[in-house]
Structure 1
Amino acid sequence: MSKTTVPRQVLVEASGLTKSYRGKRVADGVSLSVPAGSVTGLLGANGAGKTTTLRLMLGLTRGGGTTSFLGHPLGAWHCPARVVGAVLGGVGGHPRHRVIDHLTMVARGLDVTQDAVRAALSGIGMEQAAEQRLSQLSLGMAQRVGLAQALLGQPRVLLLDEPFNGLDPHSIAWLRSTLRGFVDDGGAVLLSSHLLAEMEQLADRVVVMARGRVVAELSVEEIAERTGRYVYVESPDLQRLVAVLRQSGGRVEGLGADRARVTGLGRRQVGRLAADHRIAVYGLSDQSASIEEFYLSVAEEEFSAR
């Protein structure tokens, strides 16, 4: 019996987003969804249309198509910042303003208390930077302040464009933990990034873009089902083992003198075949395809088709 899953509530739905610059279509009918309780990664090479898509969703760039947040257009909400928080590259504000003054100004517009501002600074670990001017912030610090600003309205949704840029390893771990806590509380995150290793550790779902179009949208579990599993085997008699595995329908890729990657056969099948033919095995493990491998395969298919 197959395992059933309860569908998650979709908090953001974009449909048919289009945008052209100087006759070039940079967003070509982009449609995607962002469910509650998940981090959705927006993947694509530079120029794929990721930033344009985020700006179209937020109404910051004019174009075709529609986007609904919690079932309504963003402009229909009395206070959009209480629905969605966005960080599209650091923090936007007057460079001479101090961090605390900038966040206080934003908080007043949201009818948020000063205590919430202090809590936001504490949450991003920047209490000591409260008196610094925005122009004095490093890129990583600006990313943190931008996220604090986005969270001031306690939104249900976060839209983040390349949030890992400029962050050191400690800050990346902090951001990963913060976003995971946000979605665990029922929120939804859509973030673009070219850092596939970070997506591997954070994303629950991925949307792959190429040349302004969505070419794949699926969960991490669906990636594993679609790509299957790899079996890694290590043997001092690899050549004979490879012949046995191929005779049994396995596809084998050599990874060195004594190690190979097998598809088409499960880990137990590989182990049983080795035992039946009295072939020594030093190592045997299986692993699903990574987000990086899936992305590269989809991107290669897209570009070879054009």
Structure 2
Amino acid sequence: MPLLAATGLAKSYRGKKVVDGVSLSVPEGSVTALLGANGAGKTTTLRLLLGLAAGEGETFCLGRPLQGWHCPGRVVGAVLGGVGGHPRHRLRDHLTMVAYGLGVPSGTVDAVLARIGLEQAAELRLGQLSLGMAQRAGLAQALLGAPRVLILDEPFNGLDPHSIAWLRNTLRHFADEGGAVLLSSHLLAEIDQLADRVVVMARGRVAAQSTVEEITRQAGRHVVVESPELGRLAAAVEEHGGRLQPLDGVRARVTGLDRRRIGHMSAERGIPLYWLGEKCASIEEFYLSVAEQEFSTQ
């Protein structure tokens, strides 16, 4: 049973459906990425999931409707753009008020601040937080109730490379400890390093969803080569039952042959290779292929 599941989510604005029958699930121990272009309906979908927008459909957390929990914040933690609160409130005071509302001990605040790495910012006012610090503070707020599920909208926005790596590791650790994470993002390279599952949205609907394992299996592996003699290499590859697709003047993608066979074949024929590496299909390639199909049907 997934920790988070949504069925038939739908929302209309001025007679136009911006979310249309979205159903998805997030299993225990996984990170699911919600991908799509601007206007695809990702943020509205997350708001519908959390009951922050009126619409159709149902959301289940740990097998129960979200509204059926006495204190939803102890089941689901959400970050929808930094931390909400009065800009003149100090961070520790703000989190203490949130903890009180969740019914958790006030001592939890300092523990979460240490976990998120914001001990030195505890006395700063919310209005003084940088964008990156506000993102961390939002995550601290979401974690106060020790939820099993995290929902985050564009959590990498405004973060420097060090903070991005920190957040990626934090979310991975949360999932590996038995939690479930659903996040939207435009940074496909980061999603490639983090996600276990992908849901692609287009025009308010789910265009595709798959596990990373399925994406890799269906697309298979390919070899990227770099050589100044791609013409000779292409002929040799085709003779051995493979296919070479040029990427630019010296780089090409080879399917049907593994890198060892290509290396031996090139050595035997005296074809110089500057680079030879094997790659799996990436989430970025999967997303772009789905987006291209959706665009072509418009």
TM-score normalised by structure 2 residue count? 0.94
CA–CA distance in 2 between the matches of 1:147 and 1:103?
11
Offset, 1:258: 4.0
CA–CA distance in 1 between the matches of 2:62 and 2:249?
55
Q: Name the counterpart of 1:131.
A: 123
SS in 1 for 2:57: strand
SS in 2 for 1:78: coil
Q: Name the counterpart of 2:12.
A: 20
Q: Name the counterpart of 2:210.
A: 218
- Which among 227, 233, 244 is matched to residue 252 of structure 1? 244
SS in 1 for 2:295: helix
- Which among 168, 176, 196 is matched to residue 176 of structure 1? 168
Offset, 1:133: 1.5
CA–CA distance in 2 between the matches of 1:171 and 1:271?
39
Question: How is 1:182-197 mapped onto 2 (pairs within 5 angstroms)?
Answer: 182-197=174-189
Offset, 1:267: 2.6
Listed one character per residue, the Cα deviations across residues 156-188 of structure 1 (whole Å, up to 9, x for unaligned) are 000000111111122111111111111111000
CA–CA distance in 1 between the matches of 2:83 and 2:187?
21
Partner amino acid, structure 2, of 1:156: R
CA–CA distance in 2 between the matches of 1:178 and 1:301?
34
Offset, 1:304: 0.3
- Which among 285, 289, 293 is matched to residue 297 of structure 1? 289
Q: Name the counterpart of 1:84.
A: 76
Question: How is 1:77-156 mapped onto 2 (pairs within 5 angstroms)?
Answer: 77-156=69-148
**Deviates further, 253-262 or 162-171:** 253-262
- C-alpha spacing 1:57/1:262, structure 2 compared with 1 (3 Å): same
Q: Name the counterpart of 1:209.
A: 201
Partner amino acid, structure 2, of 1:60: L
Q: Name the counterpart of 1:58.
A: 50
Offset, 1:24: 1.6
SS in 2 for 1:106: helix
**Deviates further, 276-285 or 177-186:** 276-285
SS in 1 for 2:3: strand
C-alpha RMSD of the superposition? 1.7
Gaps (5+ residues) in structure 2? none
Gaps (5+ residues) in structure 1? 1-8
Offset, 1:279: 4.2
The sequence identity of aligned pairs, in percent, is 70
CA–CA distance in 1 between the matches of 2:30 and 2:190?
15
Listed one character per residue, the Cα deviations across residues 17-69 of structure 1 (whole Å, up to 9, x for unaligned) are 11111122111111111011111111111101000000001111011111111
Pair 1:261-2:253 in alignment: yes
Offset, 1:281: 4.2
- Which among 137, 140, 150 is matched to residue 158 of structure 1? 150
Listed one character per residue, the Cα deviations across residues 100-149 of structure 1 (whole Å, up to 9, x for unaligned) are 11110111122212221011111121112212221222221111111101
**Dislocated runs of 4+, deviation >6 Å:** none
Partner amino acid, structure 2, of 1:148: A
CA–CA distance in 2 between the matches of 1:300 and 1:255?
18
TM-score normalised by structure 1 residue count? 0.92
CA–CA distance in 2 between the matches of 1:131 and 1:276?
68
CA–CA distance in 1 between the matches of 2:29 and 2:64?
19
Q: Name the counterpart of 1:198.
A: 190
SS in 1 for 2:45: helix
SS in 1 for 2:87: coil
Offset, 1:238: 2.8
Q: Name the counterpart of 1:69.
A: 61
